[in-house]
Amino acid sequence: MKSKLYAYFKNQMHGDYKIWLIVMILNAFGMVVQFSAKGRFNMEGPFEPILGMIKPLIILFISFWVMAWVSRQDYVSVIKYITLLLFLSWGLVLFAYFFGEEKGGASRWVDLGPVSFMPSDMAKLCLTISLAKMFSTRQANPAAYTPWVIFLMLAQIGITCFLVMLSNVSTSGIIFATSLVVMVFGRVPWKSIGIIFCIVAALAVTVIYKGIGQRSETAKNRIENYIKRVFLHSDSKQNLVDDKKENYQLRQSLYAISTGALRPKGPGKSQFKFHLTQAESDFVYAIIIEEYGIVAGLFIPFLFMALVYRGALAIKYSAKPIGGLMAAGLAFSISTQAFINMLVSVGALPVTGQPIPMVSAGGTSLFFTAISIGLILSISKDKKKYA
């Protein structure tokens, strides 16, 4: 029985077993923490939060199936039509912006009946792969980066970032950061990277300070509040006012961390989950430290750094340049989102609303994370083939 079970999982789960282990630990720990964080919903009915965990568990099982299926595929064939998929993601982002479901003050969601998804997740994935595909044939020849190629790079990055920024500024920033990393690994000339950085950064500043889109004013206010909180010293009365308004959620997060870092309260015993409106998503890191202490607070970022490391290893052993670039870019994108969430929870960055992939409560965004990791696993199979 044991050998049959082992053979079944070995047949289904391909790729780097260390990545599988990292992903399983993060998802399992995420389910436990979410169950605790959703405990504040107990007052909404006798079957909460158990009833509220059924849908996340179903999504988790489906996402693991998707991840395993993608890991068994040839990643080159999977990304054959990635440019068309990128164009489709642009259309879906625009559709969501004008006709989508509004949540949190922005229309980011496309409603598909029983489920809804954010096209920005699809755009982030498609752009990373599209750039890797573009750079993979030009790595060994800097002269191949002609003005026309630079223009195509700028168009893909600029259009994607602009469209996503209309309703989700922080995700647009992650997309841009990931694009820069892929360009560096793709050996794009530094001058070209500098030109693209300046143009896209100027576009972002214009969008935010001209109030273009649904979330630009919110982003502007959060940046200004962060600068005022960190770099400027307001009087005590103003600090009290800010702590009750703009900084209320952050203040509760810091209280949760400070009370549990050295003396963890234990699983399910968080007190500040009743004060944090997004305890299971945006501020889940604070709940982790409150309940499990600083050890867990260090272990989670360690796992994401390990994921980046395992993804970046593909650059060494991938049989094709596109594989290494894809794996590094996708791993960086996932981990960057996680670190942004953690840095926000400790007050090191402005509040963004980014969840921790695989740990925070999330719906269909978990599918796109699963696809990304599945592709990394598929690429990691090259080590056995060509080592």
**326 touches 129 (CB < 8 A):** yes
**Selection from 225, 268, 276 nearest residue 252 by Cα:** 276
pLDDT of 4 reads 60
Band the pLDDT of 88: cuts 50, 70, 90. Answer: very high
pLDDT value at 108 more than 90: no
**Selection from 176, 85, 79 nearest residue 132 by Cα:** 79
pLDDT value at 45 more than 80: no
The whole-number average pLDDT for the span 71-79 is 85
pLDDT of 387 reads 44
Question: Can you state the angle between helices 147-165 and 190-209, rounded to 10 degrees?
Answer: 30
SS3 327: helix
pLDDT of 289 reads 95
Band the pLDDT of 104: cuts 50, 70, 90. Answer: low
**To 10 degrees, the CA torsion angle through 44, 49, 51, 57?**
150
- Please tell me which of 21-30, 39-48, 347-356 the model is most confident about, judged by mean pLDDT: 21-30
pLDDT of 85 reads 94
pLDDT of 43 reads 52
Count Cα atoms within 13 angstroms, Cβ side, for 21. 6
Q: Among all chains, which residue has been given the structure tokens 């300070």?
A: 209
Band the pLDDT of 335: cuts 50, 70, 90. Answer: very high
pLDDT value at 192 more than 60: yes
pLDDT value at 301 more than 60: yes
- pLDDT, tens only, 200-215: 999 999 999 888 888 8
pLDDT value at 336 more than 60: yes
pLDDT of 211 reads 87
pLDDT value at 287 more than 50: yes
Structure tokens at 255: 């209280």
**Selection from 107, 104, 132, 133 nearest residue 118 by Cα:** 107
In the chain, % of residues over pLDDT 70? 87
Average pLDDT of the chain to the nearest whole number: 85
Count Cα atoms within 13 angstroms, Cβ side, for 249. 17
The whole-number average pLDDT for the span 357-375 is 88
**90 touches 127 (CB < 8 A):** no
**Selection from 72, 30, 128 nearest residue 374 by Cα:** 72
- pLDDT, tens only, 140-158: 777 888 899 999 999 999 9
The whole-number average pLDDT for the span 150-173 is 94
Band the pLDDT of 238: cuts 50, 70, 90. Answer: low
Give the integer Cα–Cα distance in Å for 363 and 233.
Answer: 40
Residue bearing the bigger pLDDT, 73 or 90: 90
Query: pTM to 2 decimals?
Result: 0.89
pLDDT of 214 reads 84
Give the integer Cα–Cα distance in Å for 356 and 342.
Answer: 8
The whole-number average pLDDT for the span 97-113 is 77
**14 touches 378 (CB < 8 A):** yes
pLDDT value at 376 more than 60: yes
The residues with which 109 forms a beta bridge, in sequence order, are 101
**65 touches 55 (CB < 8 A):** no
Give the integer Cα–Cα distance in Å for 72 and 350.
Answer: 39
pLDDT of 297 reads 94
pLDDT of 58 reads 85
Residue bearing the bigger pLDDT, 282 or 197: 197
Greatest alpha-carbon pair distance for the chain in Å reads 69
Q: Is the peptide bond before 49 cis (omega within 30 degrees of 0)?
A: yes
pLDDT value at 230 more than 80: no
Structure tokens at 33: 């923490």
pLDDT of 371 reads 94
Q: Among all chains, which residue has been given the structure tokens 């989102």?
A: 337
pLDDT of 102 reads 75
**145 touches 138 (CB < 8 A):** yes
